[in-house]
Structure 1
Amino acid sequence: MQYSHLIPPRGRVLDVASGAGRNATWLARQGFRVTAVDRDAGALAILANLAPDIETQVCDLEQGGWPYSGKQFDAIVVCRYLHRPMLPELARSLVHGGVLIYETFMQGHEQYGRPKNPEFLLKNNELADVFKLFLKIVAYEEGLLQLPPNPAILQRIAAVRTTA
């Protein structure tokens, strides 16, 4: 929510790994045109029934190619999902001036719960290191960013595409 002001009014937003659509629903209520993608067809069906104005697409982003090649969005939101091969595609799928808002778990979180597998935990500064090659970083945080009752070790980034 904190960086949604960077998205142009009525902008096209892609919610990656949207699950039941908490972020997609909030964004749609703010007037953005939202596409929610997830591999869980059941979750997307529930979302489509609750919010018919949100476009949904069932897709396993870890199998096959990036389904949005050649498409661009005013914003991409990713929350608590990590598939490293997809990261450069996210940057390329933003229009000039488009914003990436990304939050997920990092190393150290395993002491608080899942995920524990290092494949799903970012290394220190990983989001900043990856996206500084493609985007202008507007904000970056990492560490214990969610307090009890559900503490979490996270990285968060808001970054804007400044190249065409």
Structure 2
Amino acid sequence: MIKTVLDNECSDKVIKQIEMLFNQEYTDAQWTRNDPYGYSPASVRTLAFDNENNLVGHIGAEQRMISVGGTEVSAAGIGGVLVAPGFRNQKLAQNMMRELKSYLKYNQTADFAYLGCREEVVRFYESCGFTRIYRTEIFLENFSHKKIVRTGDPILVSAINNGIADFPKGDIDIRGTAW
């Protein structure tokens, strides 16, 4: 079962399962709800459960206004895309992403989905309807909150309530920590 919920609707049990899923994947730190490894916390979560109601997949999103070439853009930053090892390679993450984007469109929370990622997962996000763009990105570093200006790392955008051609040109200031 896949469902999208607001973070504040998640039970303590679900939050504990999210923490366990993250800590299985990232063993060098402990995940916390409000400061997940220093990244921005999620306000919306798409969750996948197995037949015994155990969490096996997670995607987080947070809506904010970002600046793109001086234009205000409503974006849902995507992060925390995880699938438990026994459930990978079954298109679960693609189905979860489709559900999340549908939720964002239906609830009109953002015009675009936005994410930064490692080079080795670009093809996965492209298979989910994201388009790679080449821009300079400005954000705050995870823990120090030092302003970082970076060019060259993968940035991907997906249209939610607009067409991808409507995403403005220019440098991107995500006005906070990355997702």
TM-score class normalised by the smaller sequence:
0.3 to 0.5
TM-score (norm 1): 0.33
TM-score by length of 2: 0.31
Q: Which has the higher strand share?
A: 2
| Greater relative contact order (Cα < 8 A, sep 6+) | 2
